[in-house]
């Protein structure tokens, strides 16, 4: 990881800069950065004099893009779920594994059993892996704690690990991910957990500034539309922005609910239809597509990305990095799936991991996911000649590093 600790920095020896707002820059390109913001992007001969004494960083003649933004991840887990993967390969479905106490509950059992240090170190490894693949901003969900104590432990682990890894974390409380084991078996127990989420977990996560957003898994086997609406209303009352795991395994109504609530995004959306797309468009709710999980779960149905893009919806892509449905920390592989399975172009796939992802997280698109005067000094450099090669070299990690400069998060 390269964190350039100087107030003025010049990144030089760039073959090409994909600004993602306007034309790419080619030739002997340099970037001039002051106080964590881009001030100049252009040919060396035009670099303003104020950068004469700046710290210089040699990018080795490579391609530079804005650092990637991964807007949907579950990185605070301590145990791979490779055993249940074997069951899945033998034909047992994701929902069947979940109903046998596997799946999310198995990750929760491991998180609850892990010490704070173990949880934090595992989360750090995961965030470092994402950064090594070009990511500087990561939305990080809890959701494997499923109680006040353990959801807050996960969110604290995320905050610590993000600082150590040099990534900006956007914390999201996903206490409404699954009903914990000890609250199963009766409607009263179910109600108790919903009250714990609405009255304790979300308010405390928000008050401690550990989460800026709340998420809910709206699906049969998880939470109904009614329950999800209730969780979302409680979240909104504590000032949290909203997002929904929606229409992943069935047409569960999550996208429609996200639109109704004015959520920042609805995520997954394999089963979303044209009416859902129209509702999201009208509400300004972004579509976050997670083809890594569609692929890993070997679902036949892929999200209708083309119809979404053609309808003018804001579309983002993300790894959905998690131990159950998408143990994938490589955005370029997700871009490959977007191009080959979702009908997106290579350009659209990169935009969906930068500007589109910024929009899904409510980040200012003038500052995040693009390179222009005033944008944040967070970049990825790549061992390819052109950004269209990122989805093309399937399965490789061609990221030569993420570069951030002092003050980029401030």
Residues that bind Fe ion (CB under 5 A): 320
Q: Whole-angstrom Cα distance, residue 32 to residue 46?
A: 11
When the beta carbons of 8 and 293 are compared against ligand NIG, the nearer one is 293
Read out DSSP for 326-383?
A: B----HHHHHHHHHHHS---HHHHHHHTTHHHHHHTT--TTTSSS-STT-BSEEEEES
Nearest residue relative to ligand NIG (C-beta): 324
Could you give the string, one character per residue 246-285, with x where binding to ligand NIG holds by CB under 6 A and - elsewhere? --x-------------------------------------
Query: How many CB atoms within 10 Å of residue 182?
Result: 11
In what side-by-side order are the strands of the sheet with 265-268? 68-73, 135-141, 168-176, 213-218, 241-246, 265-268, 286-289, 315-317
Q: Whole-angstrom Cα distance, residue 269 to residue 85?
A: 23
Q: What are phi and psi of 77, to 5 degrees?
A: -130, 160
Smallest separation (angstroms) from ligand NIG to the CB of 155: 17
- Tell whether residue 320 is a contact of ligand NIG (CB under 6 A): yes
- Tell whether residue 243 is a contact of ligand NIG (CB under 6 A): no
Pick from ligand NIG, Fe ion, none: which does 104 bind, CB < 5 to 8 A by kind?
A: ligand NIG
Could you give the string, one character per residue 330-359, with x where binding to ligand NIG holds by CB under 6 A and - elsewhere? ------------------------------
Q: Whole-angstrom Cα distance, residue 373 to residue 10?
A: 14
Smallest separation (angstroms) from Fe ion to the CB of 55: 39
Q: Whole-angstrom Cα distance, residue 131 to residue 2?
A: 11
End-to-end CA separation in angstroms for the chain: 19
Out of 324, 355, 356, 391, point to the residue binding ligand NIG (CB under 6 A): 324
Non-local (6+) Cβ contacts of 105 within 8 A are: 98, 146, 178, 180, 181
Q: What are phi and psi of 27, to 5 degrees?
A: 115, -145
Smallest separation (angstroms) from ligand NIG to the CB of 134: 21
- Tell whether residue 293 is a contact of ligand NIG (CB under 6 A): yes
Q: Of all helices (H) and strands (E), which one includes residue 268?
A: strand 265-268
Q: Residue 33 has which token pair? A: 């950065």
Smallest separation (angstroms) from Fe ion to the CB of 248: 8
Phi and psi based region of residue 36 (left: phi greater than 0; alpha: psi -120 to 50; beta: remaining): left
Out of 325, 330, 354, 375, point to the residue binding ligand NIG (CB under 6 A): 325
- Tell whether residue 154 is a contact of ligand NIG (CB under 6 A): no
When the beta carbons of 6 and 181 are compared against ligand NIG, the nearer one is 181
Out of 36, 75, 103, 171, point to the residue binding ligand NIG (CB under 6 A): 103
- Extract the runs of DSSP E, i.e. beta strands, from 18-134: 25-34, 37-43, 55-66, 68-73
Query: How many CB atoms within 10 Å of residue 207?
Result: 11
Smallest separation (angstroms) from ligand NIG to the CB of 49: 50
Pick from ligand NIG, Fe ion, none: which does 404 bind, CB < 5 to 8 A by kind?
A: none
Q: How many residues bind ligand NIG (CB under 6 A)?
A: 13
Q: Residue 307 has which token pair? A: 């119809």
- Tell whether residue 123 is a contact of ligand NIG (CB under 6 A): no
Of 101-109, 160-168, 258-266, 270-278, which segment contacts ligand NIG by CB under 6 A? Answer: 101-109
Out of 47, 54, 67, 104, point to the residue binding ligand NIG (CB under 6 A): 104
Smallest separation (angstroms) from ligand NIG to the CB of 273: 19
List binders of ligand NIG among 159-218 (CB under 6 A).
217
Q: Of all helices (H) and strands (E), which one includes residue 131?
A: helix 116-132
Residues forming contacts to ligand NIG in the complex (CB under 6 A) are 74, 103-104, 107, 217, 245, 248, 293, 320, 322-325
């Amino acid at each position: 990881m390269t964190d350039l600790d100087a107030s003025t920095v010049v990144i030089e020896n760039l073959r090409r800069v994909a600004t993602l707002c306007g034309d790419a820059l080619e030739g002997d390109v340099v970037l001039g950065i002051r106080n964590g913001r881009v001030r100049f992007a252009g040919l060396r001969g035009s670099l303003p004099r104020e950068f004469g004494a700046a710290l210089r960083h040699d990018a080795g003649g490579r391609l530079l893009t804005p650092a990637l933004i991964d807007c949907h991840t579950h990185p605070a887990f301590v145990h791979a779920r490779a055993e249940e993967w074997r069951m899945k390969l033998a034909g047992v479905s994701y929902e069947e594994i979940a109903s046998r106490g596997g799946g999310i509950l198995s990750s929760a059992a491991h998180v609850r059993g892990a010490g704070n240090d173990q949880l934090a170190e595992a989360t750090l490894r995961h965030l470092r892996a994402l950064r090594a693949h070009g990511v500087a901003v990561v939305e990080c969900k809890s959701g494997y704690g499923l109680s006040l104590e353990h959801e807050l432990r996960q969110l604290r682990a995320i905050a610590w690990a993000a600082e150590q890894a040099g990534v900006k974390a956007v914390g999201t409380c996903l206490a409404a991910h699954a009903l914990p084991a000890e609250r199963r078996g009766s409607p009263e127990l179910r109600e108790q957990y919903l009250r714990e989420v609405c009255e304790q977990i979300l308010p405390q996560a928000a008050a401690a500034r550990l989460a800026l957003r709340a998420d809910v898994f709206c699906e049969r086997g998880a939470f109904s539309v009614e329950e999800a609406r209730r969780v979302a209303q409680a979240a909104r009352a504590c000032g949290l922005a909203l997002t929904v795991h929606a229409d992943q395994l069935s047409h569960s109504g999550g996208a429609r609910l996200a639109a109704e609530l004015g959520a920042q995004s609805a995520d997954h959306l394999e089963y979303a239809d044209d009416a859902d797309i129209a509702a999201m468009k009208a509400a300004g709710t972004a579509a976050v597509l997670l083809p890594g999980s569609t692929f890993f779960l070997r679902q036949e149905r892929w999200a209708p990305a083309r119809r979404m893009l053609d309808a003018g919806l804001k579309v983002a892509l993300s790894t959905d990095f998690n131990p159950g449905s998408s143990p994938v920390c490589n955005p370029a592989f997700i871009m490959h799936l977007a191009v080959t399975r979702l009908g997106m172009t290579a350009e659209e796939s990169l935009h969906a991991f930068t500007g589109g992802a910024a929009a899904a997280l409510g980040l200012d698109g003038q500052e995040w996911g693009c390179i222009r005067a005033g944008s944040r000094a967070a970049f990825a450099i790549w061992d390819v000649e052109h950004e269209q090669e990122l989805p093309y070299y399937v399965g490789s990690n061609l990221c030569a590093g993420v570069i951030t400069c002092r003050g980029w998060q401030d």
